[in-house]
Amino acid sequence: MRSALLFALLLFILPDVSAQLRYLHCGRLITMAGGKAEVQEEMTLVVQADTVVRVDKGYKPAPSGAEVIDLKNKTVLPGLIDCHVHFEFEQSRTSYNEKYTLNDADIAFRAEVYAERTLMAGFTTVRDLGGKGVNISLRNSINSGWTKGPRIFTAGKALSITGGHGDPTNGARWDLFDPPGVEDGVADGPDECRKAVREQVQRGADCIKVCATGGVLSLNKDGRLPHYAPDELGMIVSTARDLGVDVAAHAHGDEGIRRAVDAGVVSIEHGTFMSEATMDAMIAHGTWYVPTLTAGRAVSDSAVYAKGFFPEMVRVKALGIGPQIQRTTGIAYKKGVNIAFGTDAGVFPHGLNYLEFGYMSDAGMANADILRSATVNAARLLRYDRRIGSLETGKYADVIAVEGNPLSNIRDLRNVRFVMKAGVVYRQ
């Protein structure tokens, strides 16, 4: 009896070795190796466990016991990467009431749904740029195999000045909440900024997000004004570097963007009113630009067409944001600013991240460069290009397949039919 029980337990624990070797027969394959966006036809991608072990020309016969996955009528490419999402949140008419009605557990269960939806859309890696901190637990749950979702790099809670874009008490009655402190991500002055960075890293953040200017959806009156002084931004970046993490800066107005770039942030998120002089500074510093065009379009459309969707203070700020970000993106692209893909999903429904590809095309970006932004460029921004961003020997088997050919029509990336993350098939 004891031997039978032990045998049953071993069957449950030990993986099915035969299922770990897979031969993917790809009608069209875009590996993005070396950053090259080119199609190879009739290829075989060999996956062992969670890793790509070989890329072969032709449809290679699989050895006995290996699984063959037929993608001969699809275009196969690396799993997509979104460098700006918010899994704890999805904008709706009731969003501004949720801090009074939802507990952290409610937010966590809902975030699981958003994460799985994003994975099924072909995004195998994301950077979550701020919430209540539930995003850290979501990352851990996905890594432990308890929850389906993309690989997450998370900022935990965003850093904000008192009354700034990330202050959770904005719009509330003064006596309803205790004054927020560094544990809430609210920090004023260099000393508090140092403490706030350390607090988020101690809690498990992979990166830091700082609100360098006001924002569109927050209940403060101006989204363009700079919110952190140069010495505060410098302290945030230097403290983060000491702890081995990068800083991403939410920023709309040019002065706040320039301060963040000069301080050494790794990326500018949104960059709505960025000047060409600041773009030149980004090129000089090697700063990445994450435009989030879909979010801009979503808030502008809601402000115009959905009466009562936003509080009036937010509605006024949202008007025209989408077209302005698109204009800025087109100029930045032509100037040669490094662009990485990011959508700000949560400002619009999760799982529609692919809309960004079309908006980037509308901004004047070439299909090959758009694809680079969501693969090799995004992997470089995350400093994880040794494992993700392209289909090469030794990298994670993050693989998707789509109908059509994205290099001919970038909007074909909405037609995801197959998703594999680290060798595990989630959609087929």
pLDDT for res 95: 87
Class of domain 80-381: alpha beta
Backbone angles phi, psi at 128, to 5 degrees: -90, 115
Mean pLDDT, the chain, rounded, equals 93
Q: What percent of the chain has pLDDT over 90?
A: 83
Q: Residue 6 pLDDT > 80, yes or no?
A: no
What does the domain layout of the chain look like in residue ranges? 18-79+390-427, 80-381
Cβ burial 202-238 (10 Å sphere, 16+ → b, else e): eeebbbbbbbbbbbbbbbbeebbebbbeeebbbbbbb
- What per-residue confidence (pLDDT) applies to 8? 46
Using the predicted structure, report yes or no on whether residue 17 has a pLDDT greater than 50. no
pLDDT at 15 over 50: no
Q: With 0-12 CB in 10 A as exposed, 13-18 as middle and 19+ as buried, what is 349?
A: middle
Q: For residue range 361-380, what is the model confidence (pLDDT) as tens digits? A: 999 999 999 999 999 999 99
Mean pLDDT in residue range 204-208: 98
For residue 47, the cross-strand partners are 22, 52
Give residue 2's pLDDT.
Answer: 53
pLDDT band at 178 (very low <50, low <70, confident <90, very high): confident
State the DSSP code for 177.
S
Contact present, 416 and 122 (Cβ < 8 Å): yes
User: Cα 261 vs. chain centroid, distance in angstroms?
Assistant: 20
DSSP per residue over 30-97, as a string?
---GGG----EEEEEEEEETTEEEEEEES-PPPPTT-EEEEEEEEEEEEPEEEEEE-TT----TTGGG
- Contacts with 396 (C-beta within 8 Å, 6 or more apart), sequence order: 50, 51, 52, 387, 388, 421, 422, 423
* Confidence band for 9, pLDDT divided at 50, 70 and 90: very low
Confidence check: pLDDT of 113 > 60? yes
pLDDT digits (tens, 9 = 90+) for 120-164: 999 999 999 999 999 999 999 999 999 999 999 999 999 999 999
pLDDT class for 173, splitting at 50, 70, 90? confident
Taking only the tens place, the pLDDT of each residue in 222-246 is 889 999 999 999 999 999 999 999 9
Q: What pLDDT is recorded for position 208?
A: 98
Structure tokens at 424: 């595990």
Q: What is the dihedral of CA 198, 203, 207, 211, to 10 degrees?
A: -70
**201 pLDDT more than 60:** yes
pLDDT per residue as tens digits for the range 315-360: 988 898 999 999 999 999 999 999 999 999 999 999 999 999 999 9
Q: Which CATH superfamily is domain 18-79+390-427 in?
A: Urease, subunit C, domain 1 (2.30.40.10)
Give residue 24's identity as a one-letter amino acid code: L
